[in-house]
């Protein structure tokens, strides 16, 4: 019974902090209770502001406050790690159709783009294995940088500061990756290159580089296949120079 009562008190306190409900909560003082809500709101507000600085700067102040207020009061977030809590704002913003409400069609893409940078930067460190440069041999199993994400967007968010992107809806592919110094970078890709990198990464453990290319370009005319093979080799050498591919596994 005591456990149930404790859970009930905790739930009431959570609901008060999230929704500012009125009413007495056993074991609390009314003259101090508001401090809990202020503390929780501040923690949420600061975490979301740090995660989405570009979105916050683009939205009007009242729009940002509404999105944060609604998220706190309506979304029952069970995330155990505070730094991952802002991720759930993406789903909530889509559920509430804030892109349409605020007349910012690229808002969902912008939130996604900003979060991916955090996710890639926060990926758990993995011990680096020994590799050989792609230029040192003709074939082998590719070793991809493990700190990367390939994402598809409807709007060119990476051009946001340079031009009006509302009229540029289409298919945009970005490879977001972390460098050895911890800096997160991105690389814009066309659809063909994005698919090729995805296939190479997917099959790199089970097939060598050339074996994968044979699978990807199977059925094509030999002349076209040779041309695409040359393109793929040059692409991977470029990706190695950027640190996206580490080389062939030794």
- Residues 182 and 131 grouped into a single domain: yes
Pairing of strands 131-132, 245-249: antiparallel
Residue 243 has pLDDT above 60, yes or no: yes
Cβ contacts of 103 within 8 Å, gap of 6 or more: none
Q: What is the pLDDT of residue 1?
A: 41
The CATH number of the domain where 198 resides is what? Answer: 3.90.930.50
Domain check: are 179 and 72 in the same one? no
Q: Put the strands of the sheet holding 245-249 in their side by side order.
A: 131-132, 245-249, 142-144
Q: How confident is the model at residue 20 (pLDDT cuts 50, 70, 90)?
A: low
Judged against a pLDDT cut of 80, whether residue 24 lies above it is answered with no
Residue 163's pLDDT is: 80
The per-residue pLDDT for range 145-193, each reduced to its tens digit, is 999 999 999 999 999 987 889 999 999 999 999 999 999 999 999 999 9
Residues with Cβ within 8 Å of 247's Cβ and at least 6 positions away in sequence, in order, are: 131, 132, 133, 134, 136, 142, 143, 240
Write out the residue range of the structural domain in which residue 61 sits.
1-104
Strand 172-178 and strand 148-153: the pairing is antiparallel
The tens digit of pLDDT for each residue in 61-92 reads 999 999 998 998 888 777 778 889 999 999 99
pLDDT at 144 over 70: yes
Same-domain check for residues 99 and 162: no
Q: What are phi and psi of 71, to 5 degrees?
A: -60, -45
Does residue 200 fall inside a structural domain? yes
pLDDT averaged over every residue in the chain = 88
pLDDT over threshold 60, residue 10: no
Answer whether 132's CB lies under 8 Å from 143's CB.
no
Whether 26 shows a pLDDT value over 90: the answer reads no
147 and 247 in one domain? yes
How many domains, the chain?
2
Residues 88 and 163 in one domain: no
Residue 3 or 178, more confident:
178
User: Could you tell me if 23 and 60 lie in one domain?
Assistant: yes
pLDDT higher than threshold 90 for residue 34? no
**Nearest CA-CA partner of 72 in 156, 14, 149, 120:** 14
Residue 231 vs residue 32, higher pLDDT: 231
* Mean pLDDT along residues 50-60: 97
What's the whole-number mean pLDDT along residues 235-245?
96
Structure pTM? 0.84
Looking at the fold, whether 148 and 77 belong to one and the same domain comes out as no
Residue 131 shares a structural domain with residue 250: yes
Euclidean distance between the first and final Cα of the chain, in Å?
Answer: 61
Same domain (yes/no): 143, 100: no
Q: What is the pLDDT of residue 2?
A: 42
How confident is the model over 190-212, as a mean pLDDT?
A: 95
Mean pLDDT value of segment 35-53? 86
Q: Is residue 111 a part of any domain in this protein? A: no
3-state helix, strand, coil in the chain (%, to 5): 55, 10, 30
Question: Within this chain, do residues 88 and 134 fall inside the same structural domain, yes or no?
Answer: no
List beta partners, residue 176: 149, 186
- Whether residue 152 sits in one domain with residue 56: no
What is the Cα–Cα distance from 230 to 145, expressed in whole angstroms?
A: 22
> Would you say residue 146 lies in a domain?
yes
């Amino acid at each position: 019974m005591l456990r149930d009562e404790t859970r009930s008190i905790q739930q009431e306190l959570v609901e008060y902090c999230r929704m500012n409900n009125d009413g007495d909560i056993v074991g609390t003082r009314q003259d101090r209770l508001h401090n809990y809500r202020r503390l929780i709101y501040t923690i949420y507000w600061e975490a979301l502001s740090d995660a989405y600085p570009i979105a916050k700067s683009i939205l009007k102040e009242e729009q940002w406050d509404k999105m944060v207020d609604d998220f706190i009061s309506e979304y029952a977030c069970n995330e155990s790690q505070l730094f991952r809590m802002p991720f759930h704002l993406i789903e909530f913003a889509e559920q509430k159709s804030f892109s349409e409400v605020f007349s910012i069609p690229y808002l969902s893409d912008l939130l996604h783009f900003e979060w991916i940078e955090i996710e890639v930067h926060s990926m758990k460190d993995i011990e680096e294995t020994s590799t050989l440069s792609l230029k040192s041999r003709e074939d082998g199993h590719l070793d991809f940088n493990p700190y990367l994400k390939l994402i598809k967007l409807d709007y060119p968010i990476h051009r946001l500061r340079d031009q009006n992107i509302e009229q540029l809806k289409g298919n945009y592919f970005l490879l977001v990756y972390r460098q050895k110094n911890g800096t997160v970078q991105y690389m814009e890709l066309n659809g063909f290159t994005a698919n090729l990198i995805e296939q190479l990464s997917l099959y790199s453990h089970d097939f060598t580089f050339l074996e994968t290319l044979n699978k990807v370009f199977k059925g094509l005319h030999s002349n076209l296949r040779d041309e695409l093979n040359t393109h793929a080799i040059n692409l991977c050498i470029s990706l190695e120079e950027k640190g996206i591919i580490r080389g062939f596994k030794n």
